[in-house]
Structure 1
Amino acid sequence: MFARLAVPLMLFAGGGILTAVGAQAQVSTSLELGGSRLAVSPQEMKALSALGGLVRGGQRAAQDKALAEARRVANSRDARYALALYELEIGNRRGDDAMRAEALDVLIASQTTRPEKLPGHLAARGQIAFRAGDFDTADRVWSRLLELTPSDPDALANLAQVRLARKDAPGAMDLLTRAIAAREALGQPVSAIWYRQRLSIAQQGNLVEPGVAAARALVGAYPTPENWRAALSIYRQLVAPDAAFEIDISRLMRHVGVLVQGAEYQRMAQLLTQAGEASEAKSVLDEGTSRGLLDPRTSPTREIIAEVDRAIVKRRNGSRAAPPDPKGTQVRSGIARLVAGQRTEAEVLFRAAAADPANGRYADLAFFWLASLAQGQPATVR
């Protein structure tokens, strides 16, 4: 994916304006094209004028013949510049990237190109190179574009795609993060695609801290079920949780309704049982069964149910649950208040956990809980 930058088409009237230049009227003529006055020889002028008259037409054979003649005689710097302008428009009309690329290379290198035209030429040349898999050229061209337009969100995002294609995940992450910030600074909406790709880059590069930020940003801006699942699944993968923290992530995933695989219900039930939370494990299994994701008659669900039932009996007979992780106390207390219908009290606990850096990963988890509550999610964790 790369951002679509506006690349204006060059529309020219046929030919040019032929005028004498001083005493050298027989040696050079003046061609006005693209806002520039160009000095060309009479032979170059004749060929370029013939080509200009065919640019807008659909006579491809005639165009090709005129192109061949203009390329044969265009030897001066100004003539080559004029020819490149015509080739660019013809290439645009034909969708001929090879012709466009050659023309853009001339225009980008030419000192005659007007400064306001250069960013558009660089943008178009980078797109052609990227589509062709020529990442070296795309990187070089779009890096130059970024030098000219350092706060352009699309320029930043396009270059991020090149860095990602070249397996530079940290570089791609930095550029795409800057692109999002630049668009926000302009008061423009940021595409959900950018948020999702930022998260994907973190996953590919195993970038933990940027990945956490990307997950938080995605569900904050676009809280769809698909985005919640992507954010929490990749977050879980990046932080490599221990059993206790994995349970708490699974609780949140269940709360927002994005446990969608039978294996996830099975694993959550097993982890809860091992942690001494067999009653909650039974609730999880019942939910998975009611959703048609689990079949209690088949393995391994049948065996997990039996394990949970045994644990419930032991608990009734006086066995104690394993002590919970003290780092998650505020978050778990918030969950308990939420289940009890005490939403305000739950939010207070989640906010306290989210604001305390000492809570580490649980500060992130508290943020996710707050985001889910802001979106009106009901309490379904037990």
Structure 2
Amino acid sequence: MKFASTTALATALALGAVAAMGVTPAVAKKADAAAAPKANYSDGFRKTAPALQEAITKKDYAAAKAALPAAQAAATTDDDKYAVATMQLQIAQGTNDSAGVSAAADAMLATGKAPAPLQIELYTVQAQNAFNNGKLDAADRAFTQVNTLKPNDPEVLISLAAVKSRENQSPAALQYVDQAIQAKKATGQPVDEDWYRRALSIAYDGKQPAGVIKYGQQLVDAYPRADIWRIALQTYRDTTTLDPQVDLDALRLMRATKSLAGERDYYEYANTALNKGFPGEAKAVIDQGMSSNMVDNKALATSKALAEIKAVAGPKIAADKADLPVSEKKARAAADGKQALLIGDAYMGYGQYAQAVELYKIALQKGGVDANLVNLHMGESLAQSGQGPAAATALATVTGPNQVLAQYWAIFATKGSAPAAAPAAPAAPAAQ
């Protein structure tokens, strides 16, 4: 059996799986030393304990196990009981007996003789054993004791979050995750990706859209990879009712962050763009899917839906592009900015971001438009043309239903997107 430290236990909990663990040999030595000063040993225990201790010193665990019952029977004072429990711990560790380690930890704590630093280790053993055996109430109590003895320790807090999550106490779990994240940041160390993932999962499973947004944004801000962008944006779309325009802007962000994946994503994007009147964008999305091997030629050839979109969009593009200069001239002369917004969107759909930004500015100047939508699209265009600071400035002004998506776009404008992480190598089976 592989024994892990308190930190390793907390990390395992943060990942949602608890590995076998126990008190380290160093902890057993601390326990043995803590029992020695001014101990009140009974005469009976003084007579039986030496044989047990000698067997442990020689690592003759068979003899130690045989001598243990007599020493336990002779233990009458708290110091006797603490000392024999310490020796019970040494035997359990020496024989890789996890149940024995847990029993010894319980016995040591019951005496009230364990010093505070050792109590942390012992309560952690109790918590782990209870967690692994599905005794969540006991695990909760034990980790709460660890948190009391070692307050604001990020590893302990994330362990408590895991327990609360298993108890279906999502608000409490997220509160502990928040504390763990802040405590970890206070150490100057990066917060583990899995902590953000755990928080996002808790919020998602708990049907908490606000939590999904909060932790999704924290996750992509800390780890702006393509696969992470996909997780954050998909959970956002799954838990929030978006109108077609906002959803199109979310799909545009997935495209910008290279987090579209699979034929379904590309179809959904292309179909939405076509329905909104952007044939060039619809065709470009399908072409991009094919070139990135996310939608192969065979799929396009056999997918009636994809073929129909491309067949409808393709013939419209030439006339649509040719009409842009004429429409732009009319937009510049119009009394309000409605036409300028439409032409700006058309330019953005064709990837002509400089022209789009210019039209969005005109739309804002003329008025009569939803300024939040205009600034969102201006921010999108600026971000995709590599003007991060300007994009962030425009996106920061967005309020209302578009605000959350503007915040996601602002993260992309400042952080960009890295390639998806390579698949992790299979983990070695845990030692039993």
Answer whether TM exceeds 0.5 for this pair.
yes
Greater relative CO, 1 or 2 (CA 8 Å, sep 6+): 2
Residue matched to 1:25: none
**Residues 311 and 6 of structure 1, relative CA distance in 2, 3 Å threshold:** farther
C-alpha separation in 1, matches of 2:119 and 2:23? 10
**Residues 372 and 230 of structure 1, relative CA distance in 2, 3 Å threshold:** same
In the alignment, is the contact (CA less than 8 A) between 1:12 and 1:34 conserved in 2?
no
SS of the aligned residue for 2:232 comes to helix
In the alignment, is the contact (CA less than 8 A) between 2:273 and 2:279 conserved in 1?
yes
Residue matched to 1:306: 311
Residue matched to 2:239: 238
**Residues 2 and 361 of structure 1, relative CA distance in 2, 3 Å threshold:** farther
Structure 1: unaligned runs, 5 residues or longer: 17-31
Shift of 1:245: 1.1
**Residues 91 and 366 of structure 1, relative CA distance in 2, 3 Å threshold:** same
Q: Name the structure where helix makes up a greater proportion of residues.
A: 2
In the alignment, is the contact (CA less than 8 A) between 2:61 and 2:95 conserved in 1?
no
**Residues 139 and 72 of structure 1, relative CA distance in 2, 3 Å threshold:** same
- The letter of the residue matching 1:331 is L
Shift of 1:311: 5.7
C-alpha separation in 2, matches of 1:248 and 1:6? 51
Residue matched to 1:19: none
Return 235-244 or 170-179, whichever deviates more. 235-244
**Residues 127 and 76 of structure 1, relative CA distance in 2, 3 Å threshold:** same
1:348 aligns with 2:390: yes
In the alignment, is the contact (CA less than 8 A) between 2:383 and 2:391 conserved in 1?
no
C-alpha separation in 2, matches of 1:271 and 1:243? 7
1:2-37 Cα distance to aligned partner (Å, 9 max, x none): 337995534459xx9xxxxxxxxxxxxxxx753543
Shift of 1:138: 0.4
- Selected match of 2:410 from 370, 374, 380: 370
1:203 aligns with 2:204: yes
In the alignment, is the contact (CA less than 8 A) between 2:225 and 2:417 conserved in 1?
no
In the alignment, is the contact (CA less than 8 A) between 2:230 and 2:254 conserved in 1?
yes
Shift of 1:80: 1.4
C-alpha separation in 2, matches of 1:263 and 1:99? 53
C-alpha separation in 2, matches of 1:173 and 1:199? 9
SS of the aligned residue for 2:300 comes to coil
Taking every aligned residue pair, what percent have the same amino acid on both sides?
Answer: 28
Residue matched to 2:335: none
SS of the aligned residue for 2:38 comes to strand
Residue matched to 2:374: 329
C-alpha separation in 2, matches of 1:131 and 1:56? 31
Shift of 1:296: 2.2
C-alpha separation in 1, matches of 2:288 and 2:68? 71
Residue matched to 1:285: 286
C-alpha separation in 2, matches of 1:174 and 1:336? 37
C-alpha separation in 2, matches of 1:143 and 1:274? 55
C-alpha separation in 2, matches of 1:361 and 1:128? 47
Residue matched to 1:187: 188
Structure 2: unaligned runs, 5 residues or longer: 1-8, 13-20, 328-338, 346-368, 419-432
**Residues 360 and 92 of structure 1, relative CA distance in 2, 3 Å threshold:** farther
1:80 aligns with 2:81: yes
Residue matched to 1:156: 157
- The letter of the residue matching 1:335 is E
In the alignment, is the contact (CA less than 8 A) between 1:129 and 1:138 conserved in 2?
yes
Shift of 1:303: 2.4
TM-score normalised according to structure 2 size: 0.74
The alignment yields a C-alpha RMSD, in angstroms, of 3.0
SS of the aligned residue for 2:40 comes to strand
1:318-361 Cα distance to aligned partner (Å, 9 max, x none): 8x99968934221212223455x4x43x642433323x4x6235
